[in-house]
Amino acid sequence: MNVAEIFGSNVFSESVMKERLPKKVFDEVMHVMKNGGQISMASADVVANAMKDWAVEKGATHYSHWFQPLTGITAEKHDAFITVPENGKTLLQLSGKQLIMGEPDASSFPSGGLRATHYARGYTAWDITSPAFVKEQAAGVILCIPTVFVSYTGEALDQKTPLLRSMEAINEQAMRIVRLFGNTSATKVIASVGPEQEYFLVDRQKYLKRRDLIYTGRTLFGAPAPKGQELEDQYFGSIRERVGAYMKDLNTELWKMGITATAQHNEVAPAQHEMAPIYTTANIAVDNNQLAMETMKRVATRHGLVCLLHEKPYAGVNGSGKHNNWSIGTDTGENLIDPGDDPSSNLRFLLILACIMKAVDTHADLLRQSSANVGNDHRLGADEAPPAIISIFLGDQLEDIVEQIVKHGTADAAKKGGTLDTGVSFVPLLNKDATDRNRTSPFAFTGNKFEFRMVGSSDSIASANTTLHAVVAEAFCDAADILEKSTNFDEDVKKLIAEYMTKHQRILFKGNGYSEEWIEEAARRGLPNLRYMVDTVPALTTDKAVKLFEKFNIYTRAELESRAEIMYATYSKSINIEAQTMIHMAGKHYVPTAVTYTTKLAQSIAAVSSVGVDSSVQQELLNDCTVLLKRMKEALKKLIADVEAVTKIQDVCEMAHAFHDIIVPDMVHLRTPVDELELFVDKKEWPVPTYGDLMFEV
Ligand code: ADP
Ligand code: MG
């Protein structure tokens, strides 16, 4: 396989445009891509036609406005290129208008009250900054045009619109900081993101036997397998052939669509893996990640596998997240998060760092909210992922500098990394990083970027980055407001750095984020600990949040309120599906299995006793099973009754809380006896594949 040849072959990239567009039109597109603004209708016609010709050469039959509604996944509606036939012949066509705008009948996407169904108009509009591509699937080859999705009155109904707005905000505010330090050549600051995507693979035939996996993406029942991840033999382990074949195929598909899949390895849990691309501009990274998740699922079916993106498919083993690596840099190639050789004297870096500390501390609740989804409730705060408390890990070098600045107002030379001697004579001395890693931190500095490790594996990274851009833009804006007026810049900037670092030092934490002590310590420091998704929703609509997002035109109050409503509704719907699935599985699978098994035991007891042999073991088994069966039946009854009551609640917030407070514990009560029963029922009788079958037979 020649990677260079296939890479990007399905992307309508800059070089394809250069080749296929008249120079004038190409220049116009480039100008709008870089500086914003509108492309003329005449040029749009030319671009559309070139795009269509290119796609048709690739075998495309349809085009689609590809967008990201608030369902967390992408949406597409295919329209064939064909026009009304004349003399029995059709022309293949894509007009500028069709390229620029679409009007999906979108009344059934979540809008959180922004649109009553009778005002159903929603529009998709071309995002010229993200390249069009063709997608090869069973439905044919489809030309996908990345778009934003807004309501008739211009409110964002998607993930993309606020993200693009937030990128403009951080660009504008970061440029003010860049200018303050005398840089006159840069014209733009761009946010970059590299998301590491974790996932599980499971055999498709086994998957199809589990209603919980099918309906909810996770197992709702299941006793632990005899072997888990305790030997730590899976992480970075050699990749099994079947999984390897999948990865190879996946890479090829991703590369064709211009996605730079590079890293691949086994993760901590059995059958868990990771894929990471090379970082790119934030909105492209978001598109690419959505596309990657979709492709991961699609390719899996070809290998008789299913790709599980749920944050916690199996209880008791490592869950999946997404590490959102983030930095900002100028269009002249300078990374603003790079401390350089001596951070202690790099005032621009220190100011940016101080602003980020301020931003994360001030809006810890919002950052936590931005990474909340239903599945992440199982993952955050368990002993594998960061807790639900936001804190920053800077590493020894920078922490030392911050400490000095807080104490003395300035810092002396920074600690250096030094060299590492392995003690093996022929191994070269290695240059060490100045800081170690901290896997337990939700927001960790990793040399020249921050790694926001909280995002869930199935979630879009759009909202996390939108929030990140907003909070940092605000801190930059506050700092620039002060410093632009300064008459003694050097002194004032140092004062401001010291002030911010002192005030927001509490957000720094380098210890074990998984520990009980940290939870107590964080409470003493007054840091929010928003353990569950339902607890994070109010952060969206506080005065602080509304002021922040409205100031930078990222969300209006109405958009924030609609998102809060969608979060509550999504939570309730998801838990309801899980509860209904459990009711189904318990009623149709587990209770009948327990009944059959107890009957068999009873028959065995009768048979054994009739020949005068001791049947006490069977009797004990029968007793235990009967007790579990009874617990199961009672828990099932309670779950059914509670779900019925909870779904009658009118208020969305109240309903979501009731699902969390009443139904989730009910589900645990039903699960426990089933899992206990699994341990002693004959494997042949057990109605579904076990954890061992699912995780170790891939
Ligand atoms: P690490 O091992 O430090 O996590 P990797 O090199 O594995 O780093 O990178 C993880 C992800 O971070 C990759 O997607 C990578 O492209 C991305 N990344 C690297 N540098 C940056 C940066 N400056 N800004 C944003 N993302 C970055
Ligand atoms: Mg990493």
pLDDT digits (tens, 9 = 90+) for 546-595: 999 999 999 999 999 999 999 999 999 999 999 999 999 999 999 999 99
**pLDDT tens, position by position, 277-301:** 999 999 999 999 999 999 999 999 9
Regarding the beta carbon of 264 and ligand 1, being less than 6 Å apart is answered no
Q: Which of 155, 170, 286 is nearest to 555 (CA)?
A: 155
Residues 179, 646: Cα–Cα separation, whole Å: 56
CA gap 384, 319 in Å, rounded: 7
Q: Encode pLDDT of 115-127 as tens digits.
A: 554 456 788 999 9
For residue range 490-506, what is the model confidence (pLDDT) as tens digits? Answer: 999 999 999 999 999 99
Give the mean pLDDT of 260-282: 91
Q: How does residue 34 score in pLDDT terms, banded at 50, 70 and 90?
A: confident
**What local confidence, expressed as pLDDT, does residue 226 receive?**
77
- Return all residues near 620 (Cβ < 8 A) that are at least 6 apart: none
DSSP state of 663: I
Given the CA of residue 338, which atom of ligand 1 is nearest to it?
23
- The per-type count for the chain, helices as H runs and strands as E runs, is 24, 17
Ligand 2 centroid–CA 72 distance in Å is 23
Ligand 1 and 427: CB distance under 6 A: no
Q: Which of 174, 133, 195, 196 is nearest to 462 (CA)?
A: 195
Instruction: Specify the residue with its C-alpha closest to ligand 1, atom 19.
Output: 279
- Other CB atoms closer than 10 Å to residue 154's CB: what's the count? 9
**518 Cα–ligand 1 center, Å:** 27
Ligand that comes closest to the CA of residue 446: 1
Ligand 2 centroid – CA 468 distance (Å) = 18
Ligand 1 neighbourhood includes 281 CB (under 6 angstroms) = no
Which of 265, 325, 356 has most ligand 1 atoms within 8 Å of CB, for mutation? 325
Q: Is 312 exposed, middle or buried (0-12, 13-18, 19+ CB in 10 A)?
A: buried
User: Backbone phi, then psi, for 354, in 5-degree steps?
Assistant: -60, -40
Q: Is the pLDDT of residue 397 over 60?
A: yes
pLDDT of 208 over the 70 cut: yes
Report whether residue 273 contacts ligand 1, using a CB cutoff of 6 Å: no
Whether residue 263 has its Cβ less than 6 Å from ligand 1: yes
pLDDT at residue 115 in the model: 55
CA dihedral of 85, 86, 91, 93, whole degrees rounded to 10: -70
Q: Which of the pair, 398 or 428, is modelled with greater confidence?
A: 398
Q: Whose CA is closest to atom 3 on ligand 1? A: 446
Q: What is the mean pLDDT of the chain?
A: 91
396 — phi, psi (to 5°)? -55, -45
Mean pLDDT within 91-117: 78
DSSP state of 527: -
CA 577 – CA 222 distance, rounded (Å) = 18
pTM of the model: 0.94
Residue 649: DSSP 8-state: -
Neighbouring C-alpha atoms within 13 Å toward the C-beta of 440? 16
The predicted pLDDT at position 555 comes to 95
Instruction: Round to the nearest angstrom and report the end-to-end CA distance of the chain.
Output: 26
**Distance between alpha carbon 138 and the CA centroid of its chain, in Å?**
26
Which residue owns the Cα nearest ligand 1 atom 14? 194
In this structure, the strands spanning 60-66 and 140-151 are parallel
For residues 177 and 476, the answer to whether their CB atoms sit within 8 Å is yes
Pocket test for ligand 1, best of 193, 265, 279 (most atoms within 8 A of CB): 279
Q: What is the distance in A from the centroid of ligand 1 to the CA of 266?
A: 18
Other residues' Cβ atoms within 10 Å of the Cβ of residue 424: 7
- Centre of ligand 1 to C-alpha 300, Å, is 26
Using one digit for the tens of pLDDT, what is the confidence trace for 637-689? 999 999 999 999 999 999 999 999 999 999 999 999 999 999 989 889 999 99
Does the beta carbon of 279 lie inside 6 Å of ligand 1? Answer: yes
Atom of ligand 1 lying closest to residue 337 CA: 23
414-473 pLDDT, tens digit per residue, is 676 666 565 666 666 666 666 667 778 899 999 999 999 999 999 999 999 999 999 999
Q: What pLDDT shows up at residue 117?
A: 45
Half-sphere exposure of 275 (CA within 13 A, CB side): 27
- Ligand 1, atom 2: closest residue by C-alpha: 446
Report residue 590 as tokens.
């587990």
Atom of ligand 1 nearest to the CA of 279: 16
Cα–Cα distances in angstroms (integers) from residue 215 to residues 266, 314, 371, in the given order: 26, 15, 23
- Residue 275 CA to ligand 2 center (angstroms) comes to 11
Domains (range + CATH), the chain: 3-157 (3.10.20.70), 166-555 (3.30.590.10), 570-696 (1.20.120.1560)
Answer whether 301's CB lies under 8 Å from 308's CB.
no
Residue with the two structure tokens 């498919």: 313
160 C-alpha vs ligand 1 centroid, how far in Å?
22
Task: For residue 547, give both structure tokens.
Answer: 């002021």
Atom of ligand 1 nearest to the CA of 326: 25
pLDDT at res. 578: 98
* Region label for 325, one of left (φ > 0), alpha (ψ between -120 and 50) or beta (otherwise): beta
Amino acid at 162: P
DSSP character string of 140-156: EEEEEEEEEEEETTS-B
Q: How far is the CA of 449 from the centre of ligand 1 (A)?
A: 7
